[in-house]
Amino acid sequence: MFHVKHEGWEAVTDALALTLLPEQITQLEAFEDLIRERAVPLGMVAPTDVGRIRERHIQDSLRGASVVTDDDHTAYDLGSGAGLPGVVVAIARPQLRMTLVESRRPRAAFLQLVVDRLGLANSIVATVRVETLSDPVDLCFSRAFARVGVAWAAAARLLNPAGRLVYFAGERFDVAELPTDAASSLVTTSALARSGPLVIMSRQ
């Protein structure tokens, strides 16, 4: 039996209707440490975020895991950067096969370190540009990758017929930016009130 007490997770996981095992929270906290120790010095996460990595990045990324269903089996994290949200979603949803797509080699090297250190058997790193991808997936995630129209254009050709783009919108997101060739819905959570909505997009 695992008895380690983890602080500060229950309110967020309850609000997102997520169940995380203690081992998964341990992985999330180890990822938080790797971001602080490796990603921040490399300029992948702003130094001003050092004191709020868990809230601003890890827990915010958990919102992506909350919209994964049992019918979702494969996913791309487009422009994965420091692995946000892809690594977090992969930890929270181990049944999902996650490809962390990052063309910049230093960032891809960090992602490979994370995958190896955390033992993420469901994740691989693809050091390629998004436009070179061709295998269809059930989900694409986009957080700080591109504006919504660009993200949708990149994801639309990669999604299975019933696939979805999960787009992390900013606080100042304007629904007028939504592309007209996609069906869109917005998801918000009071537990992370400072976050913009998740925009779930699919083919019409």
Along the 204 residues of the chain, how does pLDDT read in single tens digits? 333 446 779 999 999 999 999 999 999 999 999 999 999 999 999 999 999 999 999 999 999 999 999 999 999 999 999 999 999 999 999 999 999 999 999 999 999 999 999 999 999 999 999 999 999 999 999 998 999 999 999 999 999 999 999 999 988 888 999 999 999 999 988 666 567 899 999 998
- Residue 70 belongs to domain with CATH number: 3.40.50.150
pLDDT for 2: 34
> Does 150 fall in a domain?
yes
> Does 92 fall in a domain?
yes
> Does 86 fall in a domain?
yes
Give backbone dihedrals phi and psi of 43, rounded to 5 degrees, phi first: 80, 15
> Does 4 fall in a domain?
no
Q: Give the total number of structural domains in the chain.
A: 1
Model confidence, pTM: 0.94
- Comparing C-alpha atoms, which of 94, 159, 162 is closest to residue 133? 159
Give me the domain span that covers residue 168.
10-203
Strands 74-78 and 182-187, sheet pairing = unpaired
> Does 18 fall in a domain?
yes
For residue 165, list its beta bridge partners: 140, 201
- Comparing C-alpha atoms, which of 149, 103, 110, 152 is closest to residue 130? 103
